[in-house]
């Protein structure tokens, strides 16, 4: 009761509990590192056993205070150097700490693998527990000596040790989880243990290192590591703001052992991806096409309504036969009067066979049309095309009007580039070096890849267009007249767009010219 009513005893107890926890942090860290070598199911058990042994050992040492004081008597004398039993314990424990921390650090720095035959090889449970017991002996001696120097009552000492160990038991699991989730923290903790081991060896030989120096160094290092962890978390947050496909592309390059190209290199044109990168230009365009496929809308790959070749069921059979023979398509939409009055989808050879055999195109030989809404995702559209068995798919708007059609070859062209039919001309024709004649209906992704220019689609927040004509309409803000021009700057230089031809209210042909200086020509020649 006298102790419970004594304010000095309470102050001593609280102070000693804090010191015991501080002195036990290094013990906790090493127990966390050693427990990680065990199977997950045994780690909690090892932590509890290790800290329980630490509690028993400290209580036993407190009970043998008189014996501890006798350990200061010299046992070995080597000239001017006299070593006591306490000194020998500190020296042996310090060397063990330095050796173990060095081995652990070597494994992590050198990347030593613990895997064999595809499964991780764990350490023996009792081997790890034995190492924990040896460490407990070293750290317990320091904690007990501190307790003896702080207070005079054995009961207060034991109560402080029990409370401190209880708090450490509660904190051991989250501390272990945090240490294992942050590899740099493990290296930092091993550095602390090396420093503590060195201090124990020095103290054993009579060169006492003030604990304040150790705590100041540890505190400074912890503060720097805390800032480092905050910086990494902020970088991860910023990384998540980048498009997933851009991060995926960089991840693929790193897996191939290549360094991704940064924005400064793109802006300066100092990129040698085609020369010494993992992909050539065509391969790189295909990889880009795959990664961007899910971000594109169906308008960017479909054949627009104005370019659809369709069969009017009311036309004379001879006109139908001529239309099918002169158009190199395998399937045709068959309608009455207009494209919106759809009857079915006819296969070219079935249409010709009907006209030759029956004298007219029979509706019974037509296949039912497959419709998708204009908001359909490209990946969902691919699944529909797979089940269509080569048949075309019609794209309609919310009012049921036909907007365009999509075939499997359109998906392939979105990945590998343009494959014009016999009755079509290429969308982009090279007029001369740094000069192209471009069809207004050319897909913007294909345009960027062919001219090796990126970012045009990112220059504006408007994504209601997917063609070069749509891009120019957005830039002009109106329907331009023939031979009107506009000059735009990009990361790959300045581009001049001239409207060569209009068909009604549609931009049909565009002349694109790239302005380059001698330095840029030299870089382009090296890349090519």
The single residue listed with the structure tokens 């705590």 is 215
Of 118, 126, 146, nearest in space to 61 by CA: 146
* Residue 354, pLDDT score: 92
Of 182, 188, 161, nearest in space to 26 by CA: 188
* Residue 118, pLDDT score: 43
Cα 131 from Cα 116, distance rounded (Å): 24
Q: Which DSSP category does 403 fall into?
A: E
Residues, the chain: 528
Dump pLDDT digits (tens) for 126-155. 787 777 777 766 666 656 655 554 445 667
Of 383, 385, 288, nearest in space to 331 by CA: 385
How far are the Cα atoms of 30, 299, 448, 490 from residue 464, in angstroms, in the given order?
A: 60, 9, 17, 21
Phi-psi region of 177 (alpha: psi -120 to 50; beta: other; left: phi over 0): alpha
**Residue-by-residue DSSP string for 209-220:** PPHHHHHHHHHH
Cβ distance 99 to 191 under 8 Å?
A: no
Segments of the chain with pLDDT less than 70: 1-13, 15-30, 65-70, 97, 111-123, 136-154, 172, 175-176, 179-180, 189, 193, 211, 215, 239-285, 288, 291, 420-424, 454-464, 490-492, 517-528
Q: How many helices, marked H, and strands, marked E, lie in the chain?
A: 19, 16
Cβ distance 331 to 391 under 8 Å?
A: yes
The single residue listed with the structure tokens 């013990």 is 27
Cβ distance 30 to 193 under 8 Å?
A: yes
Cα 73 from Cα 339, distance rounded (Å): 107
3-state SS of 459-528?
CCCCCCCCEHHHHHHHHHCCCCCCCCEEEEEECCEEEEEEEEEEECCEEEEEEEEEECCHHHHHHHHHHC
Cα 276 from Cα 284, distance rounded (Å): 12
| DSSP-H helix ranges across 71-182 | 85-110, 125-150, 154-181
Cα 308 from Cα 304, distance rounded (Å): 7
Q: Which DSSP category does 334 fall into?
A: E
Of 307, 211, 181, 183, nearest in space to 19 by CA: 211
Cβ distance 443 to 465 under 8 Å?
A: no
CA atoms within 13 A on the CB side of 300: 27
Cβ distance 440 to 508 under 8 Å?
A: yes
Cβ distance 329 to 408 under 8 Å?
A: no
* Residue 2, pLDDT score: 56
Cβ distance 346 to 365 under 8 Å?
A: yes
* Residue 149, pLDDT score: 46
Cβ distance 426 to 238 under 8 Å?
A: no
* Residue 144, pLDDT score: 62
Beta-carbon contacts of residue 404 (< 8 Å; ≥ 6 apart): 298, 299, 302, 303, 304, 305, 308, 394, 395
Of 210, 220, 212, 402, nearest in space to 302 by CA: 402
* Residue 527, pLDDT score: 45
């Amino acid at each position: 009761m006298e102790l419970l009513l004594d304010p000095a005893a309470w102050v001593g107890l609280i102070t000693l509990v804090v010191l015991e926890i501080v002195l036990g942090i290094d013990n906790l860290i090493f127990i966390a590192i050693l427990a990680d070598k065990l199977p997950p199911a045994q780690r909690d058990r090892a932590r509890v056993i290790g800290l329980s042994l630490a509690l028993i050992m400290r209580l036993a040492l407190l009970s043998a205070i008189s014996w501890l004081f006798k350990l200061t008597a010299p046992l070995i004398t080597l000239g001017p150097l006299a070593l006591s039993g306490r000194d020998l314990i500190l020296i042996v424990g310090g060397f063990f700490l330095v050796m173990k921390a060095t081995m652990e650090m070597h494994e992590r720095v050198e990347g030593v693998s613990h895997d064999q035959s595809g499964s991780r090889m764990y350490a023996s449970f009792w081997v790890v527990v034995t190492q924990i017991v040896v460490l407990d002996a070293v750290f317990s001696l320091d904690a007990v000596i501190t307790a003896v120097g702080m207070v005079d009552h054995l009961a207060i000492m034991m109560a402080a040790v029990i409370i401190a160990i209880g708090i450490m038991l509660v904190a051991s699991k989250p501390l272990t989880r945090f240490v294992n989730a942050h590899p740099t923290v493990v290296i930092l903790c091993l550095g602390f243990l090396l420093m503590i081991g060195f201090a124990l060896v020095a103290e054993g030989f009579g060169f006492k290192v003030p604990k304040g120096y150790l705590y100041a160094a540890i505190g400074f290092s912890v503060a720097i590591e805390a800032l480092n962890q905050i910086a990494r978390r902020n970088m991860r947050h910023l990384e998540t703001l980048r498009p997933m496909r851009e991060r995926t592309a960089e991840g693929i390059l790193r897996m191939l052992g290549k360094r991704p190209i940064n924005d400064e290199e793109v802006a300066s044109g100092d990129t040698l991806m085609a020369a010494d990168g993992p992909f050539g230009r065509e391969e790189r365009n295909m990889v880009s096409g795959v990664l961007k496929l899910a971000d594109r809308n169906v308008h960017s790959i479909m054949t627009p309504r104005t370019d659809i070749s369709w069969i009017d069921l009311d036309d004379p059979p001879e006109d139908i036969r001529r239309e099918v023979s002169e158009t190199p398509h395998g399937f045709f939409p068959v309608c009455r009067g207009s494209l919106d009055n759809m009857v079915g989808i006819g296969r070219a050879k079935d249409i010709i066979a009907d006209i030759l055999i029956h004298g007219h195109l029979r509706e019974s030989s037509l296949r039912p049309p497959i419709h998708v809404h204009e908001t359909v995702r490209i990946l969902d559209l691919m699944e529909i095309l797979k089940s269509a068995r080569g048949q075309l798919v019609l794209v309609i708007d919310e009012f049921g009007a036909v907007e365009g059609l999509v075939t499997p070859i359109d998906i392939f062209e979105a990945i590998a580039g343009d494959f014009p039919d016999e009755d079509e001309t290429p969308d982009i024709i090279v007029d001369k070096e740094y000069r192209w004649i471009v069809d207004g209906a050319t897909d913007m992704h294909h345009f960027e890849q062919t001219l090796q220019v990126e970012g045009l689609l990112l220059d504006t927040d408007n994504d209601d267009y997917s063609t070069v004509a749509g891009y120019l309409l957005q830039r002009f803000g109106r329907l331009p007249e023939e031979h009107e021009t506009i000059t735009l700057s990009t990361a790959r230089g300045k581009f001049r767009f001239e409207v060569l031809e209009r068909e009604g209210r549609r931009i049909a042909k565009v002349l694109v010219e790239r302005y380059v200086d001698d330095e840029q020509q030299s870089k382009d020649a090296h890349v090519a």
